[in-house]
Chain A
Amino acid sequence: MNVQHNIESERMSFWERIYLPEIGRGLALTFKQMFKPTFTRQYPEEKWIPTGSYRGRPVLVLEEEGERCVACGLCSRVCPALAIEVRAAETDKVKERYPEKFEINMLRCIYCGFCEEVCPEEAIIMSKDYELVFTDPKDAILGKDKLLIPIAQLQDRLEFLRQYR
């Protein structure tokens, strides 16, 4: 019969097979680790704050005069996951157009950052927010109320974009 033998127990040496020395080796490793410094973070009590290069959920930049976004729809067009829906309307401001509705479906978003890259107004950028937990799929569709973030909180990312884009 065409049977090949390559069983674990056949490959082990005599010392490995008698088991006890191996247990000793394992425990030695464990005890060694106990005296090394730890890296484990006590999340969520202890939070990690990413740097500007991090791509968390995309957010809209809110300036003093209102949102930067002019509802051009380019982010929506480029988004590979079809996560963004923009509905435009007219305003009396100098920039005649604003998003009447701007929604990102976080269940669709893959954090690729294409929306940020394509935006002609630097109005949508990737934030540091990675805590996205929802108990209902409907809650995962974020509207303008959740997306608009004051520009002061987004300085790190804007600085990163200025330097590296």
Chain B
Amino acid sequence: MPQIIIDGQRIEAAAGATIIEAALLAEKTIPHFCWHPGLSVAGNCRMCLVNVGFPKKSPDGQPEIDSDGKIAIQWGPKLSIACATPVADGMVIDTEGQRTEHAQHAIMEFLLINHPLDCPICDEAGQCKLQEYAFMHSNGKSRFIEQKNHKDKRVPLGPNVMFDGERCISCSRCIRFADEIAKQPALTFVQRGDHVTIQTFPGMEFDSPYSMNVIDICPVGALTSIDFRFHSRVWEMSFTNSVCPGCARGCNVKLGIRDNELQRIEPRTNMHVNEYWMCDAGRLEQYPYVNDNRVIEPAIKGNSSDWKSALESCADILKAYKPSEIMIIGSARGTNEDIHATVKFARETVKTHNIDFLEHRDPIFADEFLRLADRTPNHAGAIALGLRPQDHGVNADNLAQRIVQHQVKVIIAVQEDIVGHPEFGANASTVEHIIAIASNHNATTQNASIVLPASTYAEVEGTFTNVDRRVQLIEPAVTTKENERYMGMKMSRWDKLGAFNDRWTQGERRNSRPTWKILTGISEACGHAMKFTSAEDVFNDISSHNQHFKGMNYASLEDNQGLRLDKASETEAKAVMYVSHVLKPQV
């Protein structure tokens, strides 16, 4: 393997790696715009120019020593671009010296010649590579006194992406993304020189299901999200690590919260799952789910109530029926903790065999890349935790028939709209009691005797098991009355320091609880207390009793970016995390 020296640090690089890749492994980021580890190399921005040389050799093959006793270096006649120059044994690279710095200053001056410098308006400000490098790698001077070029500032490239020609630095990341990852070669450069701009091919629209990733990888604010445009500045939001519940892939995401409202979802790098990407539906479908039409208070027969009386009424209903008359519909949309509590609740509190969950398959949603037909984030977890009927208990398939035969009289629906279900919905509405544990209003909550508000994935701590049986941790991002005191809750400066009389803190604080906590509450009211105090507590119970989860805990899940079922001890090699933008200033 070639040995190279970067800024005096000797590192071993993989054969065939480029300088920028080798440097990244040594945790050194060489300034760059057009290079992205997930895309092919274009080498057109020239920001990554570095000084490259080799030790001088005397005729007898020995390294020459210069006058200060150091090994003499024969530097290249010109600088090389780090993103396209492969490493070679003995290579010496200088990324910080005067020559490199001079080149970086020159490139920055060129890039800013026609840049509009409208950072106050631009959505990227605060996490913009150009802005960042203007501070770090530019001398802040411009010799350009002529009129700047003007280009179109509001061109929709597709339904979700808006293009601003003036801000574009022509790095071609978006073009390469469309060609190589989205597999929809719709974008291209047109014109030349300083008139160059991006366009869609005539008659084409960049409407790939992955189109919004170009917004994240665009190093500047040339591509903005049509649905988000100007909603919030990046530094006004707090970003919390989470996992997309949109399908069984479980893409790693960050949730941007301001005023207790979900404003923005961005992919988070996880080389084992989604690499750097996520789909557009994973963002756009989640905003209404978390923000709108939420169940905010417990309700008994349509009248809002408090938790204590709602849980007691549940216990009264459950005590009035035989266990075999009670059906529990769990949900693969819940976390592993929710599912474990559901199973335990059915077996130990209700003592029924009637327990099942519904599949949500949508073959049209699936594609070759990330999206999967299974629209639940935790199908694998539901199977591993045994969310299935026991001893010929009622299952989802024969539920309708058993309702008609009056064998099922009570349904506890966890996060499922059973009344709105196309197959047994009509029958489900005829049972004597429905207890709905739901986060959003739907037909079931309208028909339910008791409605218990459940927290969504954005409000709970927990784990999802994705299609590759990888258990991944999520953290609460949105505050509810239940998690207000959660340790380590990320909050922006405004959300953290606002007082009751500040109007920006008036975002809704819902009175919802995680499903496992609701079920623990009902079991307590029934007198068979499940003793769980936190999500971590439930997870530790899972990992100590369930073979599949053996050896896992929240800390190890976080460290390893998730662990696979049955394979908690086989830790995979840690991948280097490339982050395109860093949010500055950190809140």
Q: Is B365 an interface residue (CB 8 A)?
A: no
**Size category of the binding interface on chain A:** 20 to 34
Residues of B close to A82: CB separation below 8 A? 493-494, 497-498, 502
Residue A74 at the chain B interface, CB threshold 8 Å: yes
Docked-complex contact A73 and B229, CB < 8 angstroms = no
Given the complex, which residues of A lie within 8 Å of B119, measured CB to CB? Answer: 72, 120
Contact at A90–B229, with CB atoms within 8 Å?
yes
- Cβ 8 A contact of B120, one of A74, A85, A105, A108: A74
Interface size on B, residues (CB 8 A): 21
B201 proximal to A (CB < 8 A): no
Q: Is B210 an interface residue (CB 8 A)?
A: no
Q: A96-B153, A97-B230, A137-B501 are in contact. Are A73 and B121 (CB under 8 A)?
A: no
A85 near B503: Cβ-Cβ < 8 Å: yes
Residue pair B236, A73 in contact (C-beta under 8 Å): yes
Q: Is A121 touching B120 in the complex (CB atoms < 8 A)?
A: yes
Classify the interface of chain B: helix, strand, loop or mixed.
loop
Interface bits A78-96 vs B (CB < 8 Å: 1, else 0): 0000100100111000011
B486 at interface, CB cutoff 8 A: no
CB distance from A120 to the nearest CB of B (A): 5
**Would you call A116 an interface residue if the criterion is a C-beta within 8 Å of the partner chain's C-beta atoms?**
no
Q: Does B550 reach chain A (CB closer than 8 Å)? A: no
Distance (whole angstroms) from the CB of B539 to the closest CB of chain A: 37
In the complex, the chain B residue whose C-beta lies closest to that of A89 is B230
Q: Are B230 and A120 in contact, CB atoms less than 8 angstroms apart?
A: no
Chain B residues contacting A137 (CB-CB under 8 Å) are 501
Most A-side CB within 10 Å, residue of B125, B153, B236, B493? B236
In the complex, the answer to whether B497 meets A73 with C-beta atoms within 8 Å is no
Task: Determine the main DSSP class of A at the interface with B.
Answer: mixed
Please pick, from A72, A103, A105, A121, the residue contacting B233 in the complex, using a CB distance under 8 A: A72
B503 & A70 in contact (Cβ 8 Å cutoff): no
Q: Does A77 contact B (CB under 8 A)?
A: yes
Given A89-B230, A121-B120, decide whether A96 and B498 contact each other with a Cβ distance below 8 A.
Answer: no
**Distance, CA A72 to CA B124, complexed state (A):** 11
Contact between chains at A85 and B501 (CB < 8 Å)? no
List residues of A whose CB falls within 8 A of some B CB.
70-74, 76-77, 82, 85, 88-90, 95-97, 103, 105, 107-108, 120-121, 137-138, 141
Since A72-B119, A72-B121, A138-B501 are in contact, a sample of 12 more A-B pairs with Cβ atoms closer than 8 Å, ordered by chain A residue number, is A73-B233, A76-B494, A77-B236, A82-B493, A85-B502, A85-B504, A96-B121, A96-B153, A103-B503, A107-B501, A120-B120, A121-B120
| Chain B residues packing against A (C-beta within 8 Å) | 119-121, 125, 153-154, 229-233, 235-236, 493-494, 497-498, 501-504
22 contacts between A and B (CB under 8 A): A71-B230, A72-B125, A72-B233, A76-B494, A77-B233, A82-B494, A82-B498, A85-B502, A85-B503, A88-B230, A88-B233, A89-B230, A95-B121, A96-B121, A96-B230, A97-B120, A120-B119, A120-B120, A121-B120, A137-B501, A138-B501, A141-B503
